[in-house]
Copies of this chain bind each other. A is one copy, B any other.
Amino acid sequence: MATDESNSDVPTLGVGMLGYAFMGKAHTNAYKTMDYIYMPPPAHARLVAIAGRNREQVEAAARRYGYQKALTDWHELVSDPEVQVFDNSAPNYLHAEPTIAAARAGKHVICEKPLGKDAAEAKAMWEAAKQAGVVHMCAFNYRFVPALRLARDIIRAGRLGRIYHFRAQYLHEGLANPQAPLSWRLHADDAGTGALGDLGTHIIDLARFLVGEPTNVSAMTRTFVTERPTGDGGTGPVDVDDAFAALLSFENGALGTLEATRYARGRKNHQVIEINGEKGSIAFNLERLDELEVYLPEEETTQDAQGFRQVLVTESTHPFYNVWWPHGHIIGWEHTFVHELHHFFTAITSGGSVAPDGADFEDGYRANVIAEAILAAAHTGQQVAIAY
């Protein structure tokens, strides 16, 4: 950990980034923003190196974002002595091996979700990180939406009382058109699973974050379109799920429903959550991520005007929001990564862990286990017990 000259008490962490596409851009933006939005930041991020397969593109990304080196071999990245933090924003099939190598090389590691293509991979990653004694984080960034953190805080304080119901849907429309082309996301070898891994693990993690551990699951999946254009005039098979729906029993007795799909026309990034408890309810929609709907009638002194409150979660007293703007000035989706990486850096500099507020590799592993249980339940038509 180097020391920053211009701000003598703020350390610097060298970041090595794997991946320059969607997630690489989102994480990089967050490292750069964190540096001045927080005053001071837990550490300055030095953008040491970025790696990817395509030399031209990775060099363009390095220039664009200010990474000092552009690499086409991730082994160089994980062995770079200037790198203290390894950020894995690569596709699912590149999660396990580079992350494990980085951890073994003593780098702190953050990896995009789903952590492994399957639970075995995820477990190996978790164990490698534990053994290496590095800080590890699975990038379940929605834990860092101010409204969802507020929801978690309300629940944890007992203000909903006993939880009866958890309901989550994550609806996309990307594949509703049968002519949408194949991609790595539609191959089991590359992606592990389909909507389940991509969208489903987010709401699986939120189920655990907000309500607790599930014990049993029933499920159905669908692959609505089994052949898609390859882009070269031919077609190729889809061998992952297009959609899944699952029922969950929670340890605390709550009943859960989970559903994710890429076949919901008109739903762009529609992650909708509702929780009903003995004393109140909470509802959330990621497309309006600065809002939380809250029903807390027992916290009102009058009874004639009760209803779900549309809370604009943009007060300086709300989670994460104090570093931003005066209230009512909404923040965007990308800000979840700023909060997340701030949390990660704080864990590193304080010698702690990202848990329980952030998701560590154990959380990533557990999401993989539950995803596998969902697949097993769907394939067998039988309820499956969840065992970590």
* A interface, CB within 8 angstroms of B: 6-7, 22, 26, 28-29, 32-33, 36-37, 39-40, 60, 63-66, 150, 153-154, 159, 162, 164-165, 167, 169, 171-172, 176-178, 216, 218-220, 222, 224, 243, 245-247, 249, 253, 255-257, 259, 261, 263-270, 274, 276-281, 286-292, 294-297, 299-312, 314-315, 317-318, 324-335, 377, 381-383
How distant is A327 from chain B, measured CB to nearest CB, in Å?
5
A219 / chain B contacts, CB cutoff of 8 Å:
218, 247
Q: Is the CB of B309 within 8 A of A268?
A: no
* A178-B278, A222-B255 given; A264·B165 CB < 8 A: yes
Q: How far is the CB of A317 from chain B (nearest CB, A)?
A: 6
Give CA–CA (A274, B176) in the complex, Å. Answer: 15
Contact B266 A297 (CB under 8 A): yes
- Tell me if A261 and B164 are in contact (CB < 8 A): yes
- Indicate whether A309 sits within 8 Å of B305 (C-beta atoms), given known contacts A261-B165, A266-B280: yes
Q: Are A325 and B330 also in contact (CB < 8 A) when A65-B36, A261-B276 are?
A: no
Q: Top 7 A-B pairs ranked by shortest CB distance?
A: A269-B328, A268-B328, A266-B295, A381-B383, A332-B332, A307-B311, A331-B332
Residue in B40, B253, B304, B314 whose beta carbon sits within 8 Å of that of A224 in the complex = B253
Nearest residue in B to A244 (C-beta to C-beta)? B255
Give the Cβ gap from A39 to chain B, nearest Cβ, in Å.
6
Q: Are A26 and B305 in contact (CB under 8 A)?
A: no
Query: Complex formed: what's the CA distance from A334 to B331 in Å?
Result: 7
The listed residue (B172, B177, B246, B305) touching A294 by CB distance below 8 A is B305
Beta-carbon contact of B22 and A29 below 8 Å:
no
Is B334 within 8 A of A220, CB to CB? no
A299 touches B297 (CB 8 A): no
Known A278-B176, A279-B265; judge A224-B309 contact (CB<8 A). Answer: no
**CB-CB < 8 A to A299: which residues of B?**
300-302
19 more contacts with CB within 8 A, not counting A164-B222, A219-B247, A269-B328, are: A22-B325, A154-B304, A164-B176, A165-B263, A176-B276, A218-B247, A218-B381, A245-B257, A265-B278, A266-B295, A266-B306, A267-B328, A269-B327, A287-B290, A303-B317, A306-B309, A308-B309, A381-B383, A382-B382
